[in-house]
Structure 1
Amino acid sequence: MTRTVNLPGGAALPLIGFGTWQLRPRTAYASVRAALEIGYRHVDTATLYRNEADVGRAVKDSGVDREQVFVTTKLRPQDAPHARRTLESSLRLLGTGYVDLWLIHWPTGRDEFVPTWEALLEAKDAGLAREVGVSNHSPALIDRLAEATGRRPAVNQISWSPAQHDPVLLEEHRRRGVVVEGYSGLKNTDLRDPVLTGIARRHGATPAQVVLRWHLEHDIVVLPRSSRREHIAANFDLEGIALTDEDVAAIDALAANA
C-alpha cells in the first residue's frame, strides 16, 4: 500500500508519484501504463510537457478506476490570462472531468500573480480541481497569495535532492501547512557518491532507491521518472529499505558539501 499524505481538502496524496517530464507521447503512454501496472497511483504531468493526452489515455486504458489515480497537471505562466480555458483544455486532453491537483508551474508576473491564484481557487470551488497549489514558489510568495486571498496552496513542488536539503525551508512549508513535492531528486544527485553507495550496499539497494527512500523519511513527495520498466519498478520498490537515523543524517549532511 502506497503511503499518502492528507491534503487540506481531504485528498490523499501518494508520497511516490510518477513524473512524465520530457517523456514524448508514445513513451509517456507506455511508461504511465507500466507505472500503473506496477502500483503507482500518482501521475504528474503539465501543459508544458505536451503529453497530457497520452497520460490520460494510459490512465483510462490501465483499467484502474480513475478515482484511484491521483492526477496532477500544471499551468504555464504564459497561460495565466486564460487559466480556466487552459485547465478545460487539459481536462479534455486527459479525458477526465477533474484533476486531483492543479499547480501554477512557476511564478507569474507581478500583475497576474494574485489573479492567477484566484483563478485556481475558482476552479477548485467549481470542482474542476480537487486541490490547487504552486510550483517553484518561495515561502514569501506563498504568504503573498495567502494574504491576498485567505487561502494557501496545498502543495509546493520544488527541486529537492540530498545536495539541496534545507531543513529550515522544509520547516517553513510545514509551519504553513504546505506539502513539499520534490522533483529532480535523482537528476540532481551524484549517485556514485560514496555515502550513497555505502548505504545502498548495506541495505541491498541501489543508490537511486536510497535517495528516494530518504525523501520518504522526510515525508517529501517524490516524482521519479523513467522510460525503462525495470527502473520504474525499482523506483517504486522502497518499502523494504529501512534507513537508520544515522543513514538519514549522513545523507542530510551531503548538502553541506554540495
Structure 2
Amino acid sequence: MAEQPIIKLHDGNHIPQLGLGVWQASIDEARQAAVAALQVGYRSIDTAAIYKNEEGIGQALQETDVARDDIFVTTKLWNDDQLNAERALETSLKKLQLPSVDLYLMHWPCPQKDSYVQAWQQMIRLQEQGLTKSIGVCNFNEPHLKRLIEETGVSPVVNQIELHPMLQQRTLHAWNALHQIQTESWSPLAQGGKGVFEQEVIKRLAQKYDKTAAQIVIRWHLDSGLVVIPKSVTPSRIAENFAVFDFRLEKSEMSEIAALDSGNRLGPDPEELN
C-alpha cells in the first residue's frame, strides 16, 4: 500500500494530505466510493451536510475493516445553520453514526448574513465539548479570516478553497501559510479537468511520468503543500487518483504549471454567495 504524507495541523491533530471528496454523490454512491477508497488506502473522507450523503459515509464506516481511529472524517456546517451549529453537527453525527468528527468546517462565510463570527464561536464550543477534534472553514478570504481571529482569538486549522491549476489562489494560500492555516483544495481537478487536462504541459508531463493528466494535477497539489480531495465515485478512478506517491514533479515543472493560472473560478465567489 502506498505511504501517503500526513500533515500536522496547528492544533496538534494530523490530516492525510490526500482524501476522497463526495460532492454530488448520492447516499449509495458515497457509500460505495468510501468503501472502495478505504480499500485502496485512503484514510480521509470529506463530506458535508449540504451534500445529503452523510448517511452513505456512515454506512461505509460501519462496513470497512479499517479502524475508526485511522480514518479522518470531515463534514461541514451549512449556511442556513450558522446560528444553530450544535444542532447541525448533532444531526450530521447521527447520519455518520459517529460520536465525533475529526474536522468540522464552516462551509461559506456568507458575509451579508454577518453571522460567521457567531457560528465560529459555536464551533469553538463544539470542539471544547469533544464533538469535533478540529475546526476550520471553507471559502474564507483574508478579511473573513482576520475577523475570526481578531474577534475570537481562535484560528481555523484549515481553509478549504477552490484551487486548481486555472485558479491557484497563491496570495490566499501564502496568507494561510503565514498564519499556520492549512490550505485544502476543492475542485482540485477543475471539475473533471475543464481547461486543464488538455494543456500541453499537463499532457507532456503525463507522458513523461507515465501517469494520467489527473494524476499529474493531484501531484501538483501535493508538491505545493496542499491537502487535496479529488472526487470520484468510480472505483478505478478512485484507485488511480491515489497512485501518485511514486513520483514528484521537478521545480521547473511546477513553475510551468504555475503559469497556467488564469483566475478562472468555476464555483461561487465567496464575497457573493449568501
TM bucket (normalised to shorter chain) is over 0.9
- Following superposition, the deviation at residue 110 of structure 1 comes to 4.3
Name the CA shift for 1:143/1:203 in 2 (closer, same or farther; >3 Å).
same
Number of aligned residue pairs: 258
Contact 2:167 2:263 in 1 (8 A): no
1:237 to 226, 243, 246: 243
Contact 2:168 2:263 in 1 (8 A): no
- Following superposition, the deviation at residue 113 of structure 1 comes to 2.0
Counterpart amino acid of residue 173 in structure 1: N
Name the CA shift for 1:145/1:18 in 2 (closer, same or farther; >3 Å).
same
User: What is aligned with 2:59?
Assistant: 57
Secondary structure of the residue aligned to 1:205 is: coil
Counterpart amino acid of residue 177 in structure 1: Q
Moved over 3 A (4+): 108-111
Q: Which moved more, 1:129-138 or 1:183-192?
A: 183-192
User: What is aligned with 1:119?
Assistant: 122
1:221 to 222, 227, 251: 227
Give the TM-score taking structure 2 as reference length. Answer: 0.91
User: What is aligned with 1:150?
Assistant: 153
- Following superposition, the deviation at residue 44 of structure 1 comes to 0.2
Structure 1, unmatched stretches of 5+, are: none
Counterpart amino acid of residue 89 in structure 1: T
2:100 to 98, 101, 105: 98
Counterpart amino acid of residue 115 in structure 2: E
User: What is aligned with 1:185?
Assistant: 188
Secondary structure of the residue aligned to 1:87 is: helix
User: What is aligned with 2:21?
Assistant: 19
The superposition leaves residues 133-180 of structure 1 with CA deviations (integer Å, 9 ceiling, x where unpaired) of 100110211110000000111100000001112332211110111000
1:139 to 116, 122, 142: 142
CA distance in 2, matches of 1:53, 1:222: 23
CA distance in 1, matches of 2:49, 2:36: 22
Name the CA shift for 1:116/1:61 in 2 (closer, same or farther; >3 Å).
same
Contact 1:205 1:241 in 2 (8 A): no
Report the aligned-residue RMSD.
1.3
Percent identical? 35
User: What is aligned with 1:170?
Assistant: 173
Matched ranges for 1:200-219 at <5 A: 200-219=206-225
Structure 2, unmatched stretches of 5+, are: 265-274
CA distance in 2, matches of 1:45, 1:216: 20
